[in-house]
Structure 1
């Protein structure tokens, strides 16, 4: 029998909850995607496993079509193919090593992460434990309520930002936007931005979008240089 535990580990090892730590400790081993030499996020996961006393099994991450010119159907198809390939790679490990298997998800598994979808393809029993998300950290660091009184907030990606704004949304949390698509929007916007939230080198910028675009670019570069990776999130609200 194989059981899987999908564990949200927050955005830095210091944010690992007691519940998450206990879940990792209950695993026979942890599977983690290996994205190549000097993968800093793999190293962070390995450090957590070493600290808890659980073996980490690194699995080479299958390639994914990241062509910038993909339309929406092409992008969706590329992601589905990638999920299928990941599931096949993980299944080959699990077939040789039954037991309780952990997957450590950066932030929270509910937000723009493929782990749940991939594990569903394995046909095994699994549970999910939440983690501290980048969205929660962004709000806390900027001392924000993400929505105005009685109003919604939309969570989306940089890829879809222009379409969501055209549809009338004016209060958005944006993830996966390394190109800062907000900079190309028309109109007057306020932004609350953060990168590598929770890490010792986190960066924060806030203000009128037109005034702080340059500061965001410089802060993003600093975060990447300091940590070897960068993940940024922001709240965008029409002024």
Structure 2
């Protein structure tokens, strides 16, 4: 039996990892890493720092790295491109499981934030397990360890509750928000927005005046936080986001956008 631990490591601060996550780190024999290139080296650096801080001295472990499959950033068919990307990642993980693990060993996959939120690692590992079961190959078990999401970190860093009293909050993406602010929803936490979709709601229209709580590189030394009436801060967010992306070569941000209350 080979065991895969899918470990949520939080949104950037090495101390965001939970006690359960620390215990999981100390069970791992080999960590599987996806190399996303030099530009995103800081993402690997955070993972390595987490291991340095939280794995007990003398606990033997090793790292195995493979190139992350490239992703089409402007696909004609978004869902098809995601399916292709996941299939490619499954192939990479299958090779690492077959070639880099002995029977009885435990592998760890360190997932940014929480594995359940806009991440496909759980789906990819479950697909591999189902495939191996059907083909009669080595047996694989897996466990999922939750982590602190970017949405939780965002609310904490802005010192706000995510929801208003007795009101729901929608978790969505920039791609879906671009279709329009959902009817019957006052607050939306938005992830994976590469197009500054919030700017579409800066001018009060059918949705009324909006407010925003935005954060980038949450929990890291590069963290940026901006909040206020959307009409007042949309331009600043766009400028700071553009500058940060040019400086670092990448950006990871999220925001809470909601209808402003009267008064």
Please report the TM-score for the alignment, with normalisation by the length of structure 1. Answer: 0.90
Mapping 1:107-126, distance limit 5 Å: 107-123=113-129, 124-126=140-142
After TM superposition, which residue ranges in structure 1, 4 or more long, deviate above 6 angstroms?
Answer: none
| Aligned counterparts of 1:160 and 1:111: Cα–Cα separation in 2 | 15
Cα displacement (A) at 1:50: 4.6
User: Which residue number corresponds to residue 29 of structure 1?
Assistant: 30
Query: How many pairs were matched up?
Result: 235
**Superposed CA offset, 1:53-74 (max 9, x none):** 5311111111222225x3xxx2
User: Which residue number corresponds to residue 151 of structure 2?
Assistant: 135
Mapping 1:182-221, distance limit 5 Å: 182-185=198-201, 187=205, 188-221=209-242
Distance 1:166 1:13, change over 3 A: closer
User: Which residue number corresponds to residue 67 of structure 1?
Assistant: 74
37, 48, 51: which one aligns with 1:49: 51
Cα displacement (A) at 1:217: 2.4
| Aligned counterparts of 1:223 and 1:108: Cα–Cα separation in 2 | 24
**Superposed CA offset, 1:152-202 (max 9, x none):** 110000011032515443310001113210101353211011111111221
Alpha-carbon contact 2:70-2:85 (below 8 Å) kept = yes
- Which range is displaced more, 108-117 or 213-222? 213-222
153, 175, 179: which one aligns with 1:163: 179
- Which range is displaced more, 40-49 or 193-202? 40-49
Gaps of 5+ in 1: none
Cα displacement (A) at 1:118: 1.1
Distance 1:10 1:87, change over 3 A: same
Secondary structure of 1:135 counterpart: helix
Q: Which has the larger radius of gyration?
A: 2
Please report the TM-score for the alignment, with normalisation by the length of structure 2. Answer: 0.82
Alpha-carbon contact 2:198-2:234 (below 8 Å) kept = no
Distance 1:107 1:227, change over 3 A: farther
| Aligned counterparts of 1:180 and 1:88: Cα–Cα separation in 2 | 33
1:3 equivalent to 2:3? Answer yes
Cα displacement (A) at 1:141: 1.5
1:180 equivalent to 2:196? Answer yes
1:92 equivalent to 2:95? Answer yes
| Aligned counterparts of 1:128 and 1:121: Cα–Cα separation in 2 | 15
Alpha-carbon contact 1:201-1:227 (below 8 Å) kept = no
Cα displacement (A) at 1:224: 4.3
- Aligned-residue CA RMSD (Å): 2.0
| Aligned counterparts of 2:186 and 2:179: Cα–Cα separation in 1 | 12
Distance 1:193 1:227, change over 3 A: same
Gaps of 5+ in 2: 130-139
